[in-house]
Amino acid sequence: TTKASAAAQPLTNADELIGSVETFIFDCDGVLWKGDKLIDGVPQTLDMLRSRGKRLVFVTNNSTKSRKQYGKKFESLGLDVSEEEIFASSFAAATYLKSIDFPKDKKVYVVGEDGILKELELAGFQYLGGPEDGGKKIELKPGFLMEHDKDVGAVVVGFDRYFNYYKVQYGTLCIRENPGCLFIATNRDAVTHLTDAQEWAVGGSMVGAFVGSTLREPLVVGKPSTFMMDYLANKFRILKSQICMVGDRLDTDILFGQNGGCKTLLVLSGVTSLSMLQSPSNSIKPDFYTNKISDFLSLKAS
Alpha-carbon separation of residue 282 from 7, 250, 254, 260, 265 (angstroms): 11, 9, 12, 20, 16
97 vs 202, which CB is nearer to ligand PLP? 202
Q: Is 62 among the residues that bind ligand PLP (CB under 6 A)?
A: yes
Q: Residue from 133, 189, 287, 295 that binds ligand PLP (CB under 6 A)? A: 189
189 near Ca ion, judged by CB under 5 A: no
Work out whether 29 is an interface residue with ligand PLP (CB under 6 A). Answer: yes
Identify residues 192-231 at the interface with ligand PLP (CB under 6 A).
192, 194, 202-203
Segment interacting with Ca ion (CB under 5 A) among 29-37, 63-71, 83-91, 151-159: 29-37
Nearest residue (CB) to ligand PLP, 159 versus 210: 159
Long-range contacts, 96-99 (Cβ 8 Å, 24+)? 96/184, 96/219, 96/221, 96/227, 97/123, 97/125, 97/154, 97/184, 98/123, 99/231
3-state secondary structure the chain: CHHHHHCCEECCCHHHHHHHCCEEEEECECCCEECCEECCCHHHHHHHHHHCCCEEEEEECCCCCCHHHHHHHHHHCCCCCCHHHEEEHHHHHHHHHHHCCCCCCCEEEEECCHHHHHHHHHCCCEEEECCCCCCCCCCCCCCCCCCCCCCEEEEEECCCCCCCHHHHHHHHHHHHHCCCCEEEECCCCCEEEEECCEEEECHHHHHHHHHHHHCCCCEECCCCCCHHHHHHHHHCCCCHHHEEEEECCHHHHHHHHHHCCCEEEEECCCCCCHHHHHCCCCCCCCCEEECCHHHHHCCCCC
Is 257 near Ca ion (CB under 5 A)?
no
Query: Rounded CA gap, 150 and 177, in Å?
Result: 9
Q: Which of 23, 27, 49, 112 binds ligand PLP (CB under 6 A)?
A: 27
| Interaction between residue 28 and ligand PLP (CB under 6 A) | yes
**Smallest distance, Å, CB 277 to Ca ion?**
14
Q: Exactly one of 16, 22, 85, 147 is catalytic; which is it?
A: 22
Shorter beta-carbon distance to Ca ion: residue 97 or 245: 245
Min separation Cβ 270 and Ca ion, Å: 5
Task: Report in angstroms how near the CB of residue 35 gets to Ca ion at its nearest.
Answer: 11
Nearer to ligand PLP, 28 or 265 (CB): 28
Minimum separation from the CB atom of position 110 to Ca ion (A)? 23
Task: Choose the stretch contacting ligand PLP; rule: CB under 6 A; options: 16-24, 177-185, 187-195, 288-296.
Answer: 187-195
22 is catalytic: yes
Based on the shown chain and the rule CB under 6 A, indicate whether residue 113 belongs to the binding site for ligand PLP. no
Residue placing its CB nearer to Ca ion in the complex, 107 or 292: 292
Query: Is the separation of the CB atoms in 67 and 136 below 8 Å?
Result: no
Contacting residue, 21, 26, 30, 168, with ligand PLP by CB under 6 A: 30
Q: Which is nearer to Ca ion, 66 or 272 (CB)?
A: 272
269: partner contacted, choices Ca ion, ligand PLP, none (Cβ within 5-8 A by kind): none
Which residues are designated catalytic? 22
Query: Footprint of ligand PLP on this chain (CB under 6 A)?
Result: 27-30, 60-62, 64, 159, 187, 189, 192, 194, 202-203
Contact residues for Ca ion (CB under 5 A)? 27, 29-30, 248-249
